[in-house]
Structure 1
Amino acid sequence: MKKSLTAITLAACALVVPLSSHAQTEIQWWHSMGGALGEWVNDLAKDFNATQKDYKVVPTFKGSYDESMTAAIAAFRSGNAPHILQVFEVGTATMMASKSAIVPVGEVMKKAGVTFDSNDYVPAVAGYYTAPNGQMLSFPFNSSTTVFHYNKDALKAAGVDNVPTTWPEVALAAAKLKANGHKCPFTTSWVSWTQLESFSAWHNVEFASKGNGMKGLDTRLTFNTPLHVRHIENLANMSKQGLFVYKGRGNAADATFVSGECAMTTGSSALYGNIKRNAKFASGIGALPYYPDVPGAPQNTVIGGASLWVMSGKKADEYKGVAQFFAHLSKADEAAKSHQRTGYLPLTKASYELTEKSNFYKQNPGTDVSVTQMIRKTTDKSRGIRLGNFVQIRAINDEELEQVWAGKKSAKDALDTAVKRGNEQLERFQKANKG
């Protein structure tokens, strides 16, 4: 009996020891990707986990970008922050100022002994997430830019032969669509991003001073120029005529385009994956519309989407897992697959070249629009926008522009007020981060 018990004990130990010695280190990844993009994120983690046995990346959806950022701050204060946090681009300045809460991605890669060269990444993307000293602060995971999505079938039925490339052409196309019975000819998602931020860069005018905040915290908003007022006035007139239909904040308008309700929209290049999967019509992607009489237009659009920030307070071995995961995502074939699947910008130069060689852009016309818009020669006015309290500033812009669409404020009054209120947010951020 004793011999059999001993045998059973030894057998049990034989089973337990190998398992404990090869226990995986979990890497918690909080993100804000839902729907088709949520499936993509889950697949990325699954694919990486299958390539090795030491680490397990666990992706967790934490709600909208605003919600996940708020949750992460609370978790950090209580000592339960994730290893990786996805933060949208408007939160970049805030994360940069939270030095004790984050570890620069360049530092993480270096300490883990993982080969990492920021020059491998697409310059327009990497530059946005890089500090003045040249150190990359966050991993440029899902970068997008603003593009023009259109319903080919609806335009054809309305007799619109040429895809609109300028704002006057958008208005004319919208009028034809309405005459043909379309109740929502044109809409837009992310109003501040598409109609003020990217609009400014696309026309080579500042959204804010100090190189749009890139050169210092004492930046102030400047998007109430005659050009900005003219554009918002035009959209307001289109709204009164039923040519432009406002569908709400954030990406609320995306669903109305994918469903076929709205025929044209300005929004993220990353809407491509959803359109490809769910739209029941032929669609196309064009460059963001512009005003042809504005000198220097079109220039280049600004970055959107998000990056991955590494939170502080973790163990060295856990950071090694994070570094290996980022290295996996950076592989040319992996990054190319993600770019082609989602419509986000290619992560690296190599993934762009691989996609081009595969004839993907030729087989899927318009998918290169976001890339060409971002690799044009940038200026101090179009490199990107990096502001403190940017989330609050966008909310203010939404509030003020909603007054315009409702016919309660003029374009000039709304923009003047948005600039005044937004500058108060910038002053507050500047005071809080003087040190």
Structure 2
Amino acid sequence: IASYYSTSKGELLSMPFNSSTAVIYYNTDALAKVGFEGTPTTWTQVEDVARKMKAAGYDCPVAFDPAGAWQWFEQFSAIHNQPIATKGNGFGGLDAELVVSKGKFVDQLAWIKKMYDEGLFIHKSKDAGETANDAFVNGKCQITSSSIADHGTFSKQAKDGVHWTVAMLPMLEGFERTNSLVGGASLWTLKGKSAEEYKGAAAFYNFLAEPAQAEWWSTVTGYIPVTNTGFEAMKAKGFYDAAPYKGRELAIASLTMPAGENTRGIRLGGYPSIRAEMVKTIQSVLFNNVPAQQALEEFDAKGNEVLRRFEATYAGKSLL
């Protein structure tokens, strides 16, 4: 978590607060009905159970929202140590270039398209009339990817008779898992204030870092503790053994997997625009039958235009 919010030299820029990562949720009754014990750990297993769920009469094996580029694209790239851009996804300088069309996401997006065409991935979003999360908690879809922060929401909203569990995101076979990316936000202290105000800000951050506050925050939201002391204190008290919270520790496990060259985070100028372009790219493949390779080459080209504009705007500057 700290590395995402730090300078390229490792100095913390802001205080992590509502932190999460992407996970995958499964309907345990549906898994049992198709004879799968535990939870799938590979995308090959996901395809197998989705196919069997369809054959068993489940109309929506996997809920898929194209707008969820954060989990379907960014997190996929991180846990497989696949570069989104050169220079460590931009941490190494403003002259980074997108290279998604040269990595494994090409195959993954083509696979998602195949699953979609076979009716194993079902489009669920606000535009489709029902979100993926709503379809899951209502028992209409049996698998969905979302944030660990939704764990508490799912506990409260799951329809009677809907039994579910959570797992780390599946992997492609033949890859060693690396760490996933932190999501959420952080708290920033800006310059130009008085010494007394900075003492107050420091005291507030110390307060937030107390194990008791970490436990309260995680209990009421589903977000994870951002300090080792908070996590260890909660684990020692049996927090993660209690039914409502069991599984949330998997987010910590996912975030603390071995790091890779492309797993620190994404530090690219104008990235919100680039992320929006990825959503359009996924939609073009699913709905307009654009080949995945072509769509991602076009994505890289458009994204690089954004990066070059950003680089020109800050010519002569360097990233922190």
State TM-score, norm by structure 1.
0.66
| Shift in alpha-carbon separation, 1:347–1:249, aligned structure 2, 3 A | farther
> Structure with the greater relative contact order (CA < 8 A, sep ≥ 6): 1 or 2?
2
- 1:255: which partner in 2? 134
The separation in 1 between residues aligned to 2:152 and 2:306, in whole angstroms, is 35
- 1:13: which partner in 2? none
Is 1:156–2:32 an aligned residue pair?
yes
State TM-score, norm by structure 2.
0.89
Deviation at 1:318?
A: 4.8
Q: Structure 2 regions of 5+ residues with no counterpart? A: none
- 1:214: which partner in 2? 91
- 1:115: which partner in 2? none
- 2:228: which partner in 1? 349
Deviation sequence 1:51-89 (CA, Å, 0-9, x none): xxxxxxxxxxxxxxxxxxxxxxxxxxxxxxxxxxxxxxx
Aligned equivalent of 1:391, options 272, 297, 311: 272
Q: Structure 1 regions of 5+ residues with no counterpart? A: 1-124
Is 1:289–2:166 an aligned residue pair?
no
Percent identical residues: 36
Answer yes or no: is the 8 Å Cα contact 1:209–1:221 preserved in 2: yes
2:153 partner SS: helix
The separation in 1 between residues aligned to 2:87 and 2:140, in whole angstroms, is 41
Answer yes or no: is the 8 Å Cα contact 1:196–1:228 preserved in 2: yes
Relative to total residues, which structure has the larger helix share, 1 or 2? 1
Deviation at 1:388?
A: 1.4
2:155 partner SS: helix
Matched letter for residue 264 of structure 1? I
Deviation at 1:304?
A: 1.2
Deviation sequence 1:300-358 (CA, Å, 0-9, x none): 21111111223556565555444333222111111122224433231111001011101
Aligned equivalent of 2:21, options 145, 148, 171: 145
Aligned equivalent of 1:168, options 44, 68, 73: 44
Deviation sequence 1:365-394 (CA, Å, 0-9, x none): 322111011112212221222211111011
1:137 partner SS: coil
1:245 partner SS: strand
The separation in 2 between residues aligned to 1:323 and 1:253, in whole angstroms, is 40
Number of matched pairs:
309
| Shift in alpha-carbon separation, 1:322–1:431, aligned structure 2, 3 A | same
- 1:424: which partner in 2? 305
| Shift in alpha-carbon separation, 1:166–1:150, aligned structure 2, 3 A | same
Aligned equivalent of 1:227, options 83, 104, 107: 104
Answer yes or no: is the 8 Å Cα contact 1:258–1:274 preserved in 2: no
1:401 partner SS: helix
Answer yes or no: is the 8 Å Cα contact 1:236–1:404 preserved in 2: yes
RMSD: 2.2
The separation in 1 between residues aligned to 2:85 and 2:126, in whole angstroms, is 22
Deviation at 1:269?
A: 1.1
Deviation sequence 1:203-236 (CA, Å, 0-9, x none): 1221111011111111111111252111111110
Is 1:192–2:69 an aligned residue pair?
yes
Answer yes or no: is the 8 Å Cα contact 2:177–2:258 preserved in 1: no
The separation in 2 between residues aligned to 1:158 and 1:273, in whole angstroms, is 27
1:129 partner SS: coil
| Shift in alpha-carbon separation, 1:188–1:309, aligned structure 2, 3 A | farther
- 2:256: which partner in 1? 375
